Amino acid sequence: MNRITILLLGVATLSGAAVFTTTVSHRAVAQEAAPVFVTTIPPGYRDWRVVSVAHEAGELNDIRAVLGNDIAIKAYRESKLPFPEGAIVGRIAWGYVASEENNKSFGREQSFVAGPPTDAYLQFMVKDSKKYAATGGWGYSSFDKDGKPTDEAAMKKCFPCHQAVKDRDFVFTRYAP
């Protein structure tokens, strides 16, 4: 190699090292600073389209609608995985309440409807692969009926549980036809 080549290689190596160092330190800072849990309610969520519905019995004792913003609904309908950046999947949970009015009309005890908001009224998963890299690319959030975020200790349970459906990009709910 001539002196010019050696000089250029030296410069390239130095640049590479500098880039590497910058990337590593940037990542370290991002992981330290990144909020893994989301503490704001996405505006307009009550206008989102339906992904599906469910009833959780037991202690939760709720009936729920799972909704998606436009990005999430599009991905669901196209069976696109992983979900694109900006996708938000939300769920609203209401108390699971027997409807005396409906039962009277049906002539039997069979009807359960949405009652008042539950303690874990609203939950959202927000897709941002960089910001929430530590939790599978999703930021998790949960709010009570007054919009107060659930405490961070409880929120640490979200991601470990959602790992059960890693092959569906950590999203439990399937799209209902």
Contacting positions for a copy of itself (CB under 8 A): 46-50, 52-60, 63-65, 67, 92, 94, 96, 99, 101-102, 104-106, 108-114, 116-117, 161, 164-165, 172-174, 176-177
- Using the minimum distance from each CB to a copy of itself, give the nearer residue, 64 or 131: 64
Comparing CB distances to a copy of itself, the nearer of 34 and 114 is 114
- Side chain identity at 134, as an amino acid letter? A
Q: What does each C-alpha distance from 150 to 6, 21, 40, 69 come to in angstroms?
A: 58, 37, 11, 22
Q: How far apart are CA 85 and CA 87, in angstroms?
A: 6
3/108 with CB nearer a copy of itself: 108
Smallest gap from residue 77 Cβ to a copy of itself (A): 9
Q: Which is nearer to a copy of itself, 73 or 126 (CB)?
A: 73
Cβ at position 10, least distance to a copy of itself in Å: 53
The tokens of 57 are what?
A: 């019995």
Least CB distance from residue 105 to a copy of itself, whole Å?
Answer: 5
What the block records as the tokens of 173 is 């709910």
In the numeric block, which tokens belong to residue 175? 């799209």
- Whether omega before 149 lies within 30 degrees of 0, making that bond cis, reads no
CB of 86 to a copy of itself, least distance (A): 19
Phi, psi of 98 (to 5 degrees): -70, 135
